[in-house]
A and B are shown apart, each in its own frame.
Chain A
């Protein structure tokens, strides 16, 4: 393994570790009943703490902060139960900080990936970014990542059949064909003499059928 890969592997290791810690904390502390207890002040403080700790070049729009607050206030966990931060053992604030900080870091990383800007460049997180990857989705991802994830199903078809399939840049035979894939985003390319289709598909619980031409 080249030594240059070490920082990337270390970052991946730390990320995995924080995910495990966070998901365990969530699993242990989501209350079976109760009302949401995250105030806007609490959240603003958590966001400010994150900015302070990261000395970041990331600006966070106040609209994004209120979007996160309302998202947390209205969300329930994947078992359909509301999050009751007040029921958490003290100091609950630190746990809010931890969760929110991890969530904003995730938003930041996604923004860098989307824009293609190098890390450390000036970016601004807006309400649209929060809507695109909500806190609820983030928490759900944490839960899912804590266990061996069930894969999803993807069918690739074309008319006429016999077009070459590439998924995630790997050749995968000819249409029509069914695949079992890890959940999440995959790039699909279907190519024949007559047509070419390329798209990113998001595979989740329901089977996805990718047709080409559409």
Chain B
């Protein structure tokens, strides 16, 4: 029964992500066409990519740690707690949104425009951060609950 529930949650998540991608891709926009990036814009790209890879690195690290915790609990024949599951799913989502925002940046440059305030980029990077934030909160909750 738990397996079925998990499959349903995964299916809903996949449909949600496909829809998200679809809505993002279908948004109407107008941007100035640029042939070359100026120095300031290149700096913006560098900063954006640094933040993106930093968050992706943290999320990967968190996912590894959560995986170890879940493994440890399995060895003790205990099921993962909801906090751990939430933390793992949020970390994975954070990685996914990080990848999306990176892809959107490439898509933008590929089509000769540049606007880091474009909705597809701001939305995906915000979601990357929020998902990571939720993951950390859930992990902290698990640690605090374990101490009590």
Interface residues in chain A, defined as those with a beta carbon under 8 Å from any beta carbon in chain B: 12-13, 16-17, 19-20, 145-151, 153-154, 167-168, 170, 172-173, 177-182, 184, 186
Give the total of B residues in contact with A, Cβ under 8 Å. 22
Q: Could you list 23 A-B pairs, sorted by A, with CB under 8 Å?
A: A12-B23, A13-B19, A16-B19, A16-B23, A17-B15, A17-B19, A19-B22, A20-B19, A148-B24, A148-B25, A150-B111, A153-B33, A168-B28, A168-B30, A172-B32, A178-B33, A179-B30, A179-B32, A180-B113, A181-B30, A181-B31, A182-B29, A184-B28
Do B30 and A177 touch across chains, with their CB atoms under 8 A apart? no
Q: Which residues of A contact B112 (CB under 8 A)?
A: 180
> Measured between alpha carbons, how far is A120 from B15 in the docked complex, in Å?
31
Q: A19-B22, A173-B32 are in contact. Are A182 and B27 (CB under 8 A)?
A: yes
Question: A149 — nearest CB in chain B belongs to which residue?
Answer: B25
Interface status of B54 (Cβ within 8 A of chain A): no
> Measured between alpha carbons, how far is A178 from B32 in the docked complex, in Å?
6
What is the minimal beta-carbon distance from B27 to any residue of chain A, in angstroms? Answer: 7
Number of A-B contacts (CB under 8 A): 64
- Pick from A146, A173, A182: contact of B28, CB below 8 A: A182
Q: Which residues of A contact B19 (CB under 8 A)?
A: 13, 16-17, 20
Interface status of B107 (Cβ within 8 A of chain A): yes
Interface status of B21 (Cβ within 8 A of chain A): yes
Q: Which residues of A contact B11 (CB under 8 A)?
A: none
Q: Mark B96-113, 1 if CB is under 8 A from A, else 0.
A: 000000011001000111
Question: A151 — nearest CB in chain B belongs to which residue?
Answer: B111
> Measured between alpha carbons, how far is A168 from B31 in the docked complex, in Å?
11
Q: A17-B15, A151-B111, A151-B113 are in contact. Are A180 and B33 (CB under 8 A)?
A: yes
Q: Which residues of B from 26 to 73 have beta carbons under 8 Å from A?
A: 26-33
Q: Which residues of B contact A154 (CB under 8 A)?
A: 30
